[in-house]
Each structure stands twice: as C-alpha cells, then as structure tokens.
Amino acid sequence: MHVWGHTLRELFALGGVVMWPLLACSIVGAALIVDRTIALWRLRLSLTEFVAQLQPLVRCGQIERAEAICRSSDHPMAQIAGLYLAHRREPESIRATILRREGSLVLERLERRLRALSLVGHLSPLLGLLGTVTGLVGAFHQVELHGGQVQPDHLAAGIWEALLTTVFGLVIAIPATAAYHMFEHRVDTVAQQMQLVIAYLDEWFGCRSGAGLLTKTMEHPEQSSTIGVEET
C-alpha cells in the first residue's frame, strides 16, 4: 500500500523517533476499543420488556419467579433488580446501602479501561505535536548548518517528520476519542436503566430505597401511578 508515493514502512521511518510511541498508542487504543466493544455489546436488554416481565409477577406476589428472571440475565439492570428482590425485607436504609454499593461496583467494572482509552485520545495529538516541533527544529538546524544556502532536500526530512507525526497523531486520537464517548454514553445508559428499574421496584413495593443511588444517572421523574404489593 502506497501513500504519498511511499509505503507505510517508509512513512513510519520518515516520521522519526516519535512514531514509536504513536505506534504503541495505536496498538493500545485498538485493543481497548475491541475489548470495550465486546464487553458492552453483550449488555443488550430492553428496559421496557424487562419491566413488563417483572411487573405482573411482583403485583401477584410471585417474587421467586421474578428473581429467576433476574438471574437469567447478565445485564446490570437485571442484577440490581435481583439484588433488590433478594433484600426486599431489609429496612429501606440497609437495602439502599446495599444497592448503592453493588451499583457502584457494577459501574466501576463497566468503566474499566475507559480512562486508558481517554488517555490514548489525549496523548496521541500531543505526541504528534511533539513530532511537529522536533521536525521543525531539525529543519531549522539544517538551515543553520548550511548558512542559509539550503536546498529543498535539506529540509525535507524535518518537514516530513513534522507533518507525518501530526497526521498519525490525529489518525489515532480521532477514533479513540469517538469510541471513548460512545462507550461512556453506553455506560451512562446502563446506569440510568439500573436507576429506573430500582425506581419501578420502589413504586411497586411502596419504598424509597432507590432515591439518588447512582450518581451517573439522570433524575427519574415520579411515576404517574402507584401499585400496591404485598410481600411474600
């Protein structure tokens, strides 16, 4: 594959020493994107469908069947709902503490490695800028060495280094930053689903244990109806 009349190997060599940390960033960024894509792609569960399954069971007092539905899914929303049902007889303050703790642990697992991906997105253009500066320094050094009587080939190496490192830095940073924000949005969505399912369970059981559990979620408006439930 040729770009600008050179192979990728030749362009890498023309980019100078800064291309090596950029290469490391590209490998790490690609690995993180694949890892988080697989991890978050598996979390597919409709809040509407899940609530529609739980509501009639909870209203009829069939808590064990509701817990079985929660255990059948690995989605954090189902896990937190199962945890709620398992501790439904606990005092509200204790249940809220348990849900807050476990919800925080779940979100921490979902956000794992996202900081590293964000670091790749921020570090790559800075490395490209470093290469730009070192390339321009090299070009001006050639001017100094030749006493101002320079030929284009004397400046070519420095200019290549300056431009290539900038290009490769941006090529790495743009998809890394875009992927980071998409993954972060996905985690926020899951956190909101967890908060909403707790809010539904609070409504059905007439409790308030879910208020303000997960700081990443949007505030959920009060439900328009209240369903009374007798615990079994």
**Any domain includes 82:** yes
Q: Would you say 40 and 183 are in contact if contact means Cβ atoms under 8 Å apart?
A: yes
Domain assignment present for residue 146? The answer is: no
Per the structure, how many domains does the chain have? 1
Per-residue CA distances from 75 to 57, 64, 115, 189, 208 (Å): 19, 18, 22, 12, 23
Q: Which domain holds residue 203?
A: 30-128+186-220
Q: Extract the tokens encoding 147.
A: 């006493």
CA distances from 161 to 6, 150, 156, 167, 217 (A): 14, 18, 9, 10, 45
**Domain-embedded: residue 120:** yes
* 145 located within any domain: no
- Whether residue 170 lies inside any domain: the answer is no
Is residue 207 situated within a structural domain?
yes
pLDDT tens per residue across all 232 residues of the chain: 666 666 778 878 888 889 999 999 999 999 999 999 998 888 888 889 999 999 999 988 899 999 999 999 889 999 999 999 999 888 888 999 999 999 999 988 888 889 999 999 999 999 999 988 888 887 776 666 666 666 666 567 678 788 899 999 999 999 999 999 999 999 999 999 999 999 999 888 876 554 445 544 333 333 333 333 333 3
Residue 180 counted as domain residue: no
Which among 76, 100, 78, 49 is positioned nearest to 186, based on CA atoms? 76
What does pTM read for this prediction? Answer: 0.77
Please count the residues of the chain.
232
Instruction: Note whether residue 46 is domain-resident.
Output: yes
Structural contact between residues 193 and 210, judged by C-beta atoms closer than 8 angstroms: no
